[in-house]
Structure 1
Amino acid sequence: MASRLILRIQESQSKLTGSEQKIARVLMENQGLIETHTATELAGIAGVSKATTARFFRNLGYTDFEEVRLQAREERNRTQPYGRSEARPAAVSMGRSIGAHLELELANLQRTFEEMRADLLPDLARLIAGAPRVWFLGFGAEDGVARVGKSMFHRLRHEVHHLDGAGQDWAGALAATGPRDVLILLTLEPRPKMLRPILAHARTTRMRVVTITDHAFAPQAERFSERVLPCHAASYGLLPTHATMLSLLRLLAVAYVGENGETVERRMEILEAIEEELNFSE
């Protein structure tokens, strides 16, 4: 499957013209056409001109259609040995094999970590270590990811919180924040209107915002964030993927341990002693 092609289509979706969107839909529905059809045949299926098809691939960063086809063959050849033992048709989800979903997730992870600056994680670890309090915030599905982040870092340091306006009491939740606190924002589309006033409050309170988000939102996040961790989050639609976001959180936690080993060790010893005491009292 030409997963890198799908990744590029997902990231460029908002910039494609109406005619280019037609080609994108055809390829999203059947990536195998890249290997079995010519550019002219693809244009015919999509109902667009050959010139539009050529422009579509150039806009995605390819030299020509042949480069796309070579990439698809390379990916197929790389994964083919793992498919020889299949005695029955591959399991299918949302019209695509589970292998296709896995390949897209792996491509998201690989591109995210390949593009990350080497000094960014240690820098973030030091930023978090120097914060009086650390807050995790997410909306919708990202609220669950924020809770995972809070739980993860709660074992590594004191004063780690989940920013939650349960019962719409955002004022009460935000009143507990203060200067130099770190707010770790996890956000994908759709973004609620509530995000803007919360960020305005964070700026007024002089909180330091770290945003983990998709590449499309990263330039906007740079305006209000001290640091931005862009992650590739291409999916086959309907439901967002949080695999890269969760992996980035864990990597950040590992970097924090690396920068604050002794402090983390003491914290975990205290927690383990309390847990042992609680278990014994039962």
Structure 2
Amino acid sequence: MSLRIQERISRLTRSEQKLAKVILASPTIIETHSATELAALANVSKATTARFFRALGYADFEEVKVQAREERDRTQPYSYSVSPNGNPVLGRKISEHLELELVNLNRTFEEMDPDALRQASRMIADAPRVWFLGLDSNIWFARYARAVFLRLRHNVNAVNVSEGTLAEDLAMMGPRDVLIVMAQGPQSKDLNLILSHARTTRVNIIMITDHTNLAQAKRFADMVLRCHIANYGLIETHTTMVSLLRLLAVSYVGHVGEAAVRRAGLIDDINEELERFG
């Protein structure tokens, strides 16, 4: 449902876009509200609501509800209860936690296009500089990715890793550089501004993201690598994103071969020297 909306949102009328924003802000609202109630929440007419769902390819609102339930069961197998004092209780077993993480990993890598992965590796290998970007809670992804790729090649940077240097970092980007953006979960409006500027510098943009940011990724990125991140509902999972970043690094090593091995060996030798005389 969310993906359908994001893919078509630019073609919707202004009233339909109001309804789209209500649903995107809380996708589970489809299961808990009627079409009339959704229309009232978005301050649009019932006729607009009917047109909106037909524009998304649904026969009627009942079909919408059926898909919403199926999507919830497929992507959100975890649920939580509420204790007598009102605090959420995540009442699931370790085995269920493992099952969900495996589902996320399986879906991500089963859908992964090997050609896209090879193309991303070539883009990184050919880039004068590689930049990693993660905003807000995604910033540590950028730091992790930079640490991994620094062992494999030169000129690897994390955007705004020193707080307050965003403009300076953006000013250093140039043609054929690669900007790898990690966008998991809700993103601030700053990301649109950063990506818009990056496009003017003719950098190649790779976005690693989940389904909630696909529309934005398709608008700005030269390549999109999608992660599945179904979670408890309260606590984010980072397993898939980290695993995909590692796979990208492995693919890069496979592309450049001995060059990455030599660099990693050189770094190990330097560390050994520093420890010896430290």
Which TM-score applies when normalising by structure 1? 0.69
1:151-190 CA-partner distances (Å, limit 9, x unpaired) = 0011000000111164433212222222111001001222
What is the match of residue 20 of structure 1? 31
> Relative to structure 1, is the Cα distance of residues 17 and 194 closer, same or farther in structure 2, using a 3 angstrom cutoff?
closer
**Contact 2:31–2:68, Cα closer than 8 Å, also in 1:** no
1:268 pairs, out of 260, 264, 268, with 264
**Contact 1:165–1:173, Cα closer than 8 Å, also in 2:** no
Q: Quick check: 1:253 aligned with 2:249?
A: yes
Distance 2:161 2:217 in 1: 22
After superposing on structure 2, the runs of 4+ consecutive aligned residues of structure 1 that deviate more than 6 Å are 52-55
Letter in 2 for 1:190: P
Letter in 2 for 1:213: T
CA shift for structure 1 position 53: 8.1
> Percent identity, aligned pairs only?
47
**Contact 2:186–2:212, Cα closer than 8 Å, also in 1:** no
Which TM-score applies when normalising by structure 2? 0.70
What is the match of residue 154 of structure 2? 158
Q: Quick check: 1:188 aligned with 2:184?
A: yes
What is the match of residue 65 of structure 2? 56
SS in 2 for 1:168: coil
1:37-60 CA-partner distances (Å, limit 9, x unpaired) = xxxxxxxxxxxxxxx888634555
> Relative to structure 1, is the Cα distance of residues 17 and 139 closer, same or farther in structure 2, using a 3 angstrom cutoff?
closer
CA shift for structure 1 position 133: 0.4
What is the match of residue 9 of structure 2? none
2:228 pairs, out of 232, 245, 259, with 232
What is the match of residue 165 of structure 2? 169
- Please list, as runs of the form range in 1=range in 2, the aligned pairs for 1:105-184 lying within 5 A after superposition: 105-164=101-160, 166-184=162-180
SS in 2 for 1:105: helix
Distance 2:255 2:241 in 1: 21
Letter in 2 for 1:227: M
What is the match of residue 221 of structure 1? 217
Letter in 1 for 2:245: L
> Relative to structure 1, is the Cα distance of residues 55 and 172 closer, same or farther in structure 2, using a 3 angstrom cutoff?
closer
CA shift for structure 1 position 269: 2.1
CA shift for structure 1 position 197: 1.6
Distance 1:19 1:196 in 2: 28
Unaligned runs of 5+ residues in structure 1 are 1-12, 23-51, 63-67, 76-92
Distance 2:68 2:235 in 1: 26
Distance 1:153 1:245 in 2: 15
**Contact 1:136–1:184, Cα closer than 8 Å, also in 2:** yes
SS in 2 for 1:116: coil
**Contact 1:20–1:53, Cα closer than 8 Å, also in 2:** no
Distance 1:17 1:112 in 2: 23
**Contact 1:112–1:232, Cα closer than 8 Å, also in 2:** yes
- Please list, as runs of the form range in 1=range in 2, the aligned pairs for 1:32-71 lying within 5 A after superposition: 56-58=65-67
Letter in 2 for 1:174: L
> Relative to structure 1, is the Cα distance of residues 261 and 165 closer, same or farther in structure 2, using a 3 angstrom cutoff?
closer
Distance 1:190 1:55 in 2: 23
Distance 2:124 2:114 in 1: 17
What is the match of residue 40 of structure 1? none
> Relative to structure 1, is the Cα distance of residues 144 and 54 closer, same or farther in structure 2, using a 3 angstrom cutoff?
same
What is the match of residue 48 of structure 1? none
Give the superposed CA RMSD.
Answer: 2.8
1:43-96 CA-partner distances (Å, limit 9, x unpaired) = xxxxxxxxx88863455569xxxxx8xx9xxx9xxxxxxxxxxxxxxxxx7222
Letter in 2 for 1:144: W
